[in-house]
Structure 1
Amino acid sequence: MYKFDQTKTPLFDALLEYVNNDTIPFHVPGHKKGQGMVSKFKDFIGTNVMSIDVTVFKQVDSLHKPTGAIKEAQELAADANNADHTFFCVHGTSGAIQAMIMSVVKEGDKILVPRNIHKSVTAGIILSGAMPVYMQPEIDSNVGVALNVTPETVKSTLEQNRDAKAVLIINPTYYGISTDIERIADIVHSYDIPLIVDEAHGPHLHFNDKLPISAMGAGADICAQSTHKIIGSLTQSSMLQVREGYVDVNRIKTVMSLLQTTSPSYILLASLDAARMQMATEGQELLDETIRLAKYARAEINNIDGLFCFGEEIVGEEGAYDFDPTKITITCKDLGISGHELERTLAEQYFIQPEMSDLYNILCVFSIGDTREKVDALLSALKEISKTYANRDRKKIDIIDVPKIPLRVLSPRDAFNGSTISMALEDSVGEISAEFLLAYPPGIPVLCPGEIITDEILEYVETLKDAGLYVQGTDDPEVNYIKVVNDCDQLDIITSA
């Protein structure tokens, strides 16, 4: 089982000792255990949490050079997650992903990535100077959701790019779809390069045998996990799991130290320590209940007119090797409304806030914090909404094809850092983008820096905007203007190489 005593919370205990000793703080932060905090905020949040909002000193250890409580807490986390090393992250999983990428590739190196990556992956590519080689995930045309990349896609892409230095996959996806990650790990390692995994939406997988296999369990070399998303730590707290062999652990330490703040939040760090303990000691039972509630909700939703919630039947489709049932994707296009409209109705009329919406669906994330009462409230609201729209003429919403991956003529880094001008989006066809275009959430890029802007992309973006979805990535918040590369000499050098 575990090598260490997983009931321990060394970092949280060190902070409690500091508080119980009535230590007088002549250190930052300036609110001094809440004493100097404005009353309106302090009265709401309470003084307990502010009493452990401390800075770096021996008793509570240092995130950048851990030798005490943080060191022990990270070792416990590695043991709990079947990893050789764990690094606590207080700059979100986006920062962990950037560190993961910068640890395995440098300027000019090729890295294979799925096209349905989160923008943090592209940010990591820009920071590293690497060259992305995109792999197209499979698409479920019934619900308009990207599934996952297949082992065959990974293998064929590696055969065409034998000089690649690393492969990154998303597992599971935002919608809970897993690929055959064990097979992919074997394929990638046969090329003597590391497999790194964006496991933002799978920090819970290792702790219940009814869920898909975790990245570490499947043989991945590094994975970035959003501990806060599913298993109880505070928002912005994440973990980076590492296995020795194909990666340089000292390089990872250095990059993590380079990117992370020198004033980390001990509140966030302590929440990681506590969340790990909870999962290691109670995870199987807690997640059993989460899965039970999710299956109950899925069955009930599929009995509501106009709604559909896919489940385990998707397993077996190309790109869907396994499925995390805690992700509840509710397809509403047969009601004649967009996912954005359904999300807005739930939030504004019923005070129920889904995780996100796209053109055709809303996503509800189930976790260990959900109850039958809250699930029933969601189901009751969905039934009322269905009845409302059942009496109206339903306008059919067709699935729109996501634009093809455009031609890249510059590295993302060169385009992002190069000389640029801003122009109207409608006039930008044929230009080289210096910015992103993506629908957020989930932050999947339609256009990345260095790629040629096409008519197809503009039409797709306008469709998203017309549906009320949040398109972002440009300096212009309305996404009417976009920055394009204005250095033709640079372009000639790159394209002639």
Structure 2
Amino acid sequence: MKTPLYNSLRDYGNKVQYRMHMPGHKSLEELYKTTGFHKEMLNLDLTEIEGVDSLFHPRSSLLEAQEIAANLYGAKESIFLVNGASIGIMASIMAVVGEGEELIIPRNAHRSVFNALLLAGVKPIYIMPEIDFDTGVAMGINPLEIERALTENPKAKGVLIAHPNFYGFCSDIEAIAKIVHKYDKVLIVDEACGSHFKFHKELPISGIEVGADLIVHGTHKNLPALTQSGILHIYSNRVDEKKLKHYLMMLQSSSPSYILLASLEIALKIVEEKGIDLFNSLFENISLLKESFKKIKGVKCLDNNLIGKYSIAGYDFSKVVINFQQLNLRGYEVEAILRDRYGIQCELSDPANILITFTIADSREVFSKVLAAIEEIATEAEIINDKGCLTEGPWHLPQLVYTPKEAENKGWQEIDISHAKGRVSAETLSSFPPGMPIIRAGERVDERVLELLKAYRDVKNIKVIIE
């Protein structure tokens, strides 16, 4: 029998020497040498049996491990996850908001948010992030927009905010928490990319530090835990914990991986014992790299120089966003060149930028290789006069006719886009950049939607609800 998947994973490891993307361990065995974890995986692959505790009813070793995590982060309770941060986000939403009730969310929220809205029958109240139309990146959420949404929608059960967004930019989470709690609402923080914030003074503050009610971490993204490990932190008494744990049990596997659970515990042990030195080294290496980038013509970094603009209050220094708009190169092209010529795979690319994620697993050699590659690519390129990444602003919120669940259960047909005005979309169409829907299922197609689809998507047909 052939093993195409296994072969592709091995081939990737042979071709890509420098992994500038999650998971945070970067396959560096050195991180685990004091525990031997990487050599014991088959022996640790157990099920829920006597002696190793139960994920959904922890009473011994797992309970103790979660209590240690809660103490480390300063949470009231911390619950380990084996289906990623996504499942923590979904369970949080379903525990807080019921059928027909409202939740205030960013327009560019993670797909897990929309999955939860669909399953629970929740009505979304959207808030728009500010957009840097020059680089095409969706930035922060203005706290005043949160207050406006709460004032206009007093029945909303709570607010969900991403902290940081995928590019590493953070809204003013402290101000947002104060506003949400002033209205006695629940604040859910999608902190999937921020499980490391606690471990260095130059990193943004965590949602836990500002008293958010539920905070979700994807510990594999920036810490040396295996993919799909995560933590859901409970900080307040505003949420029904029994209901929350009920949904966690419903949504997660009934055969949780103890390898993932153990990797999570080991990752926390590493950063608790060595985190200061490891993150200091990471910060120093990234600072030196960014200083070197300043000497390369046509290349610039989007980082803490944006604090105070676009409602940005903080920036994760481990996320290095490199902009190439002054060169005759697109971000997609740079990503391909880095991978094919240099064996460097970045986290993502868009028309103007690439995103490189550094973690405590990256050595000085990795930084040197990245710098040398970017220098060579930029030297071979030409300087151009950039006109900006996005030209069709401002962005738009179409009329919501049906909740995601209602739209899912409607019949639909596909029609020519020229006949779509006034119809209700049965599908979601997005533009990247800025990584945000132009229209979502259940929203009415209007003239502005058609303009944006024409500007950013080559859409000839659209699925619409039969009414």
TM-score tier after normalising by the smaller chain length:
0.7 to 0.9
* Partner Cα separation in structure 2 for residue 52 and residue 463 of structure 1: 52
CA contact (8 A) 1:109 1:164 kept: yes
Q: What is residue 286 of structure 1 aligned with on the other side?
A: 278
* Partner Cα separation in structure 2 for residue 422 and residue 56 of structure 1: 48
Is residue 450 of structure 1 aligned with residue 430 of structure 2? no
SS at match of 1:241: strand
Shift of residue 405, structure 1, vs aligned partner: 1.9
Q: What is residue 113 of structure 1 aligned with on the other side?
A: 105
Q: How big is the alpha-carbon RMSD for the aligned residues of Structure 1 and Structure 2?
A: 2.8
CA contact (8 A) 1:356 1:442 kept: no
Is residue 74 of structure 1 aligned with residue 74 of structure 2? no
Is residue 399 of structure 1 aligned with residue 390 of structure 2? yes
Is residue 179 of structure 1 aligned with residue 171 of structure 2? yes
CA contact (8 A) 1:74 1:85 kept: yes
Equivalent positions of 1:3-402 (< 5 A) are 48-390=40-382, 398-401=389-392
- The aligned amino acid for 1:281 is E
Name the TM-score, length of structure 1 as normaliser.
Answer: 0.82
* Partner Cα separation in structure 1 for residue 133 and residue 151 of structure 2: 28
CA contact (8 A) 2:136 2:434 kept: no
CA contact (8 A) 1:125 1:412 kept: yes
* Partner Cα separation in structure 2 for residue 121 and residue 415 of structure 1: 16
CA contact (8 A) 1:117 1:170 kept: yes
SS at match of 1:61: coil
* Partner Cα separation in structure 2 for residue 249 and residue 122 of structure 1: 22
SS at match of 2:264: helix
- In structure 2, relative to structure 1, the CA distance for the partners of 1:200 and 1:132 (3 Å cut) is same
CA contact (8 A) 1:143 1:331 kept: yes
* Partner Cα separation in structure 2 for residue 321 and residue 229 of structure 1: 22
User: Where do 5+ consecutive residues of structure 2 fail to align?
Assistant: 11-26, 28-37
- The aligned amino acid for 1:353 is Q
- The aligned amino acid for 2:208 is M
CA contact (8 A) 2:135 2:388 kept: no
Deviations 1:354-386 (A, max 9, x none): 101122111111111112211111111111111
- In structure 2, relative to structure 1, the CA distance for the partners of 1:227 and 1:397 (3 Å cut) is same
CA contact (8 A) 2:142 2:311 kept: yes
SS at match of 1:169: strand
Shift of residue 410, structure 1, vs aligned partner: 0.9
Shift of residue 427, structure 1, vs aligned partner: 5.3
User: Out of 426, 446, 466, which is 1:434 matched to?
Assistant: 426
SS at match of 2:345: coil
* Partner Cα separation in structure 2 for residue 51 and residue 450 of structure 1: 49
* Partner Cα separation in structure 2 for residue 83 and residue 177 of structure 1: 23
- In structure 2, relative to structure 1, the CA distance for the partners of 1:484 and 1:465 (3 Å cut) is closer
Shift of residue 149, structure 1, vs aligned partner: 0.8
- In structure 2, relative to structure 1, the CA distance for the partners of 1:346 and 1:430 (3 Å cut) is farther
- In structure 2, relative to structure 1, the CA distance for the partners of 1:424 and 1:226 (3 Å cut) is farther
* Partner Cα separation in structure 2 for residue 440 and residue 280 of structure 1: 37
Shift of residue 404, structure 1, vs aligned partner: 1.2
- The aligned amino acid for 1:151 is P
SS at match of 1:216: coil
* Partner Cα separation in structure 1 for residue 111 and residue 229 of structure 2: 18
Moved more, 326-335 or 308-317: 308-317
- In structure 2, relative to structure 1, the CA distance for the partners of 1:111 and 1:416 (3 Å cut) is same
* Partner Cα separation in structure 1 for residue 422 and residue 52 of structure 2: 55
SS at match of 2:114: helix
Shift of residue 156, structure 1, vs aligned partner: 1.6
Q: Which has the higher contact order (CA 8 A, sep 6+)?
A: 2
Name the TM-score, length of structure 2 as normaliser.
Answer: 0.87
- In structure 2, relative to structure 1, the CA distance for the partners of 1:246 and 1:189 (3 Å cut) is same
Shift of residue 144, structure 1, vs aligned partner: 2.2
Shift of residue 456, structure 1, vs aligned partner: 4.9
CA contact (8 A) 2:193 2:221 kept: yes
Shift of residue 480, structure 1, vs aligned partner: 6.5
CA contact (8 A) 1:356 1:441 kept: no
Deviations 1:367-413 (A, max 9, x none): 111122111111111111112212x7677554334641222111111
* Partner Cα separation in structure 1 for residue 388 and residue 326 of structure 2: 7
Q: What is residue 483 of structure 1 aligned with on the other side?
A: 463
Taking only the aligned residue pairs, the percentage that are identical comes to 37
Q: What is residue 22 of structure 2 aligned with on the other side?
A: none
Equivalent positions of 1:406-417 (< 5 A) are 406-417=398-409
SS at match of 1:86: strand
Moved more, 393-402 or 320-329: 393-402
SS at match of 1:335: coil
* Partner Cα separation in structure 1 for residue 345 and residue 336 of structure 2: 8
* Partner Cα separation in structure 2 for residue 214 and residue 57 of structure 1: 35
- The aligned amino acid for 1:374 is V
Shift of residue 223, structure 1, vs aligned partner: 1.1
- In structure 2, relative to structure 1, the CA distance for the partners of 1:397 and 1:191 (3 Å cut) is closer
* Partner Cα separation in structure 1 for residue 80 and residue 390 of structure 2: 40
- The aligned amino acid for 1:86 is S
CA contact (8 A) 2:219 2:230 kept: yes
- In structure 2, relative to structure 1, the CA distance for the partners of 1:231 and 1:147 (3 Å cut) is same
* Partner Cα separation in structure 2 for residue 256 and residue 149 of structure 1: 28
* Partner Cα separation in structure 2 for residue 234 and residue 439 of structure 1: 31
Shift of residue 431, structure 1, vs aligned partner: 2.7
Deviations 1:283-335 (A, max 9, x none): 22211222222222222222211111022221112411122211111111111
- In structure 2, relative to structure 1, the CA distance for the partners of 1:41 and 1:344 (3 Å cut) is closer
- In structure 2, relative to structure 1, the CA distance for the partners of 1:443 and 1:107 (3 Å cut) is farther
Shift of residue 481, structure 1, vs aligned partner: 5.3
